Amino acid sequence: MTAVVDRVDIAVIGAGAPGLTMAYSLRALGLQPLRDFVVLDERPAPGANWHRAWDFLTVDRGRRAGELVELPGQAELGLGIDRIAPDALARDVVPEMWRKYEYAYGLQVAHGIRALRVEPVRRRDDLRITTTRPDGGTAQFAARLLVSAVSTWSHPFVPWYPGADRFAGVQDHVYRRDSFAAFAGMRVLVVGGGRSAVAVLLELERLGARTAWSTLREPDFLDRPTFGLVRRRSALTLAEIGLERRSRVARMAARGRWLPSDVSVRGIPQTLEVFEGRRRGTLASRGPLERLEPDAAVFADGSRAPIDAVLWATGGRESTRYLAPLGLRDAGGTPKVRSGWSRRDERVGFLGYGPGMDATEALEGAVDLAEDAIDRLVG
């Protein structure tokens, strides 16, 4: 971003679906890109992390999983998802759709630019944002408000277990791979209890791998509630269960508490594919992993499984290190976030922050945050 802007009202960091929705909303509300707001994206081209989507993730699977949704105004451009072949690979079509979307609405996303740090400006209400430049140097500009819309997919988390440094086989995180064909016929341990783990286990089974699954607790499959002849007040629909869990997470985020895992809030949908995988035993957890040996995994119950590879499906972490100079965290905690805004610094907003939020909710949050941002600027 070589001197693209010196000062803007709003800086949006991240050009995934929430970031693009925020930009679209700001434009629709009368703000001009590069004059009033700017969107920075560390990826060199449109499409965010969809470039690296798995080679078995089709458009149909992405829609059914709730991860692939239409951006506001996308259908009006003739780019509706229903126009795409269901068996098309998401990584082949989403980046091109988003490139056309950015161009059609003139969002002027600054691709290939990474935010390095954000600092307060003395005796001014501005935030100073330091970024990379295409030539390898750095640049700075000021913003009145900043919205973090970065994804956890870019920052995979790998926990430490005893013996991990002595394991002789392959270790990798599922976020770092776009294909699992190399594991065909191997004995593979998948660690993690979320939706990514389930998808990878089913794909490994299709490839002929022999799998074992380790989770910290029993997998949270969303079986539909069973209603008897007498309706009980305690019976909730899946939507009500999800709302109840997300409300609890929102209270935790406002207090800066460490947040639970995504799967503990969203759960694992009981699709026919998942049901059949459970019936075959592919989706049966061996329980918590205790340690790794050079050629095996040992579980908490004392059982042992010979393995050739470990795939960590343990999620990612919020990429907010560039916000460290603002001191938004309590010691040993997380940023205190209420209604999408930091409680420590009201100039900083968060999109898609916290577990349990599906793609549709993230986009709705982006529209709301855009309106809030303008209210803060004029209020």
Q: Read off the pLDDT of residues 257-270 as tens digits, 9 standing for 90 and up.
A: 555 555 555 678 88
Which domain range does residue 69 map to?
A: 7-154+317-378
- What distance, in Å, lies between the first and last C-alpha atoms of the chain? 30
Note whether 372 and 349 are within 8 A (CB): yes
Query: What's the domain count of the chain?
Result: 2
Check whether residue 92 and residue 208 sit in a common domain: no
Residue type (1 letter), 69: V
- Total-model pTM: 0.85
pLDDT value of position 231: 40
**Is 16 a member of any domain?**
yes
Check whether residue 110 and residue 195 sit in a common domain: no
**Domain final residue pick, 284, 312, 340:** 312
Check whether residue 321 and residue 308 sit in a common domain: no
Q: How many CB atoms lie within 10 A of CB 219?
A: 18
**Is 250 a member of any domain?**
no
pLDDT value of position 4: 52
**Is 298 a member of any domain?**
yes
**Is 249 a member of any domain?**
no
**Is 230 a member of any domain?**
no
Check whether residue 147 and residue 187 sit in a common domain: no
**Is 244 a member of any domain?**
no
Helices 90-104 and 17-28 pack at an angle, to 10 degrees, of: 20
pLDDT value of position 237: 44
Check whether residue 295 and residue 364 sit in a common domain: no
List the chain residues with pLDDT less than 70.
1-5, 123, 223-266, 318, 330-333, 353-357
How far is it, in rounded angstroms, from Cα 288 to Cα 312? 13
Distances (CA, A) of 135 to 12, 33, 225, 322: 22, 23, 57, 20
pLDDT value of position 250: 53
pLDDT value of position 64: 83
Helices (H), the chain: 17-28, 59-64, 90-104, 195-206, 238-254, 262-266, 272-280, 359-378
Check whether residue 292 and residue 211 sit in a common domain: yes
Q: Which of 327, 307, 331, 370 is nearest to 168 (CA)?
A: 307
Check whether residue 71 and residue 191 sit in a common domain: no
